[in-house]
Structure 1
């Protein structure tokens, strides 16, 4: 069984909203043994929705449609699919009761527009919305099953988990087992990863692929087998080979993040951290404080953007700044040592650089960064040259700083 996901919404095709639903559904379907062959995005246009659903139903057995089930006039998914399947829309009593309960709970008046959400094609299976008002449905058309879910991510996910996934598992008992594992790397460009493991990418089972993002590269292994144990064996053999070839570049497997890996090591080793940021402007601290439990290890984060702030909060010498400049190895080292000393932390981490688009010179070009880490064992400072726009450079600098922290901790 293969699937296609159709995301409905003019805001998606205009680039105003990022389609996170399709990515989430693809992962969950693959975990259930149903690979996704196509992603399609369609605006709020009845004819386009019909044509997309018709094409999808001709080439896959499972079509999942998200969006266009709300109460407004531009929510056209139910009407488009009813026309395609030549079935009238009828009110589902259970869906109406749910809508009335939700609206009354919000102390609102039930309007005809609200009740539009209770309409589904005749003979379609109603899918209860556990957290919202828009009813979903499942219907058979030709050789395909079409599943229709709301576009609101929280509602879509709840309905998929409760009303769609159990049906998939029950109806596809003969499918092969499919497993995907992700190995996360940092500090090595995609070309470098390819140079080390490129010979593995020509294999068909398991499939090995890479995806790069801001200085990090994810390596994904996908295997198919007659049973879960066979699939795990195929994954394990290739995973061991990749780990041998990539070595210290690997910071985690699965869904763990770089900041999550750093937080875990800080907590395990009972180390404390203080961060001093200039051009990264709090990005490192923001990433770290997103990790549960980090308050036990993360003492403080200081954005010392101006020279005066570096002197006042971190104890950096004015003469040092005057002699070497704010963007220098000497100042970066002093910032890291100052953050550690002022906070009493075990480790101080600091960044200073030129993110652009202005400020670069011949001797200190745009993208130049110095990143320092300080502990009782001494202070290490590294020089980097990042490319991209201002936000890309800042993001890559923050990730590189976290990598430096991770390498120090591991």
Structure 2
């Protein structure tokens, strides 16, 4: 069994989210291991020592994060030593490395940082390439303990460089290779996605299909242990490839739709342009954050006022006067005007009421119109999103990405 102890008052009182647990669990799973148990603990010895003692009786591997810093409330090393009945020993090589880190950044090392070179007797320091706190590895009574720093950017490197190699070396018997295929789907709900696959049940022994609903997408996971005959796994994946083809945008662990959009446009030689109103540039930001977007995104405009829609997109003022800035007619005119101005292959326009004011009985807060124009047609779509102003803007942006993806697929 592998137990994770995630340590810090800031985790227990909700000041920060425990992203370390997610990162470690994902990396373990990808490498054939499984995080069986996770505990979040404060920095006190009265919490840490009993939890470590319990884990020593139950687990084969204990992974800790946090509490390796230089301050008085960083007590993880002390707690592990106490639970194991070991003395703390200063490692001179680790101390030299810590001093060198400060020297490299033109700072003097505070005396308090010297405690970061103290380890339980018999422990092996693990180099931290991104900070002052080294981790350490200790095998005690056949239990493998790996202590990692808490800051995520430091933890990430230590997990890849040290934790995973240690597990593969010392506890290969815990590793179970898995066959796994992901389907990241948009434009379909979790229940409708499951309905497409309903006739596949009951599944062959040892194979599982899981559904996870995320904001504006559904992730379908098919998995099996590699020790089994892969024939049934391959057969099921072939069926899912066919049934989810129209909604699946990637088969990787990344659910980054904007990356897929930029890559597909680059492959097909398509140019994009955006005109945003209520989303205020969020769509443009998502697209331009992708490396290589400059080859695809011609121009992105935030046309928030009625005047800017008319000036920059050639929207006829009478359209806005007659139908309103938030309407099918206006977003169609915006998308058409942008395509004529830029000659982009695909243009998208967004206009809506993000709130909290501005809504009416006919068009309540959260009403957002989308227009997409190509050489073949210009179409519009309307959605009502619930939540705060920021939530509505984010949901509208995600839906716009979905529309772009579906439009690109239709042009293949």
Q: CA deviation at 1:123?
A: 0.9
Q: CA deviation at 1:297?
A: 0.7
Q: CA deviation at 1:59?
A: 3.3
Q: CA deviation at 1:57?
A: 3.4
Match status 1:248 vs 2:238: no
User: Would the alpha carbon gap of residues 302 and 116 (structure 1) be closer, same or farther in structure 2, given more than 3 Å must change?
Assistant: same
SS state at 1:276 partner: strand
Q: CA deviation at 1:235?
A: 4.2
Query: How far, CA to CA, are the matches of 1:192 and 1:16 in structure 2?
Result: 37
Q: CA deviation at 1:395?
A: 1.8
Query: How far, CA to CA, are the matches of 2:120 and 2:96 in structure 1?
Result: 18
Query: How far, CA to CA, are the matches of 2:172 and 2:238 in structure 1?
Result: 30
Between 316-325 and 392-401, the greater mean CA deviation after superposition: 392-401
CA distances 1:211-236 after superposition (whole Å, capped 9, x unpaired): 22221111122321327xx56x5543
Number of equivalenced pairs: 406
CA distances 1:198-252 after superposition (whole Å, capped 9, x unpaired): 566875622222222221111122321327xx56x55433322333333311111
Query: How far, CA to CA, are the matches of 1:358 and 1:267 in structure 2?
Result: 40
Q: CA deviation at 1:54?
A: 2.9
- Could you tell me which residue of structure 2 aligns to residue 9 of structure 1? 8
Query: How far, CA to CA, are the matches of 1:320 and 1:50 in structure 2?
Result: 70
- Could you tell me which residue of structure 1 aligns to residue 162 of structure 2? 163
Between 335-344 and 191-200, the greater mean CA deviation after superposition: 191-200
- Could you tell me which residue of structure 1 aligns to residue 187 of structure 2? 187
Match status 1:220 vs 2:228: no
Runs of 4+ in 1 over 6 A off after TM superposition: none
- Could you tell me which residue of structure 1 aligns to residue 197 of structure 2? 197
* Unaligned 5+ runs, structure 2: none
- Could you tell me which residue of structure 1 aligns to residue 331 of structure 2? 332
- Could you tell me which residue of structure 1 aligns to residue 313 of structure 2? 314
* Unaligned 5+ runs, structure 1: none
Q: CA deviation at 1:280?
A: 1.6
User: Do the aligned partners of 2:33 and 2:176 also contact (CA within 8 Å) in 1?
Assistant: no
Q: How does 1:31-50 map to 2 (within 5 A)?
A: 31-50=30-49
Q: CA deviation at 1:96?
A: 0.7
User: Do the aligned partners of 1:329 and 1:382 also contact (CA within 8 Å) in 2?
Assistant: yes
Query: How far, CA to CA, are the matches of 1:42 and 1:234 in structure 2?
Result: 43
Match status 1:237 vs 2:235: yes
SS state at 1:398 partner: helix
Q: CA deviation at 1:172?
A: 3.4
Between 339-348 and 265-274, the greater mean CA deviation after superposition: 339-348
Q: How does 1:253-272 map to 2 (within 5 A)?
A: 253-256=251-254, 257-272=256-271
Query: How far, CA to CA, are the matches of 1:107 and 1:136 in structure 2?
Result: 23
SS state at 2:145 partner: strand
Q: CA deviation at 1:269?
A: 0.9
CA distances 1:48-103 after superposition (whole Å, capped 9, x unpaired): 12233333333332121111111112211111111111111111122111101111
Query: How far, CA to CA, are the matches of 1:61 and 1:391 in structure 2?
Result: 45
Query: How far, CA to CA, are the matches of 2:357 and 2:285 in structure 1?
Result: 25
Between 104-113 and 170-179, the greater mean CA deviation after superposition: 170-179
User: Would the alpha carbon gap of residues 20 and 200 (structure 1) be closer, same or farther in structure 2, given more than 3 Å must change?
Assistant: farther
Query: How far, CA to CA, are the matches of 1:202 and 1:71 in structure 2?
Result: 55
TM-score by length of 1: 0.93
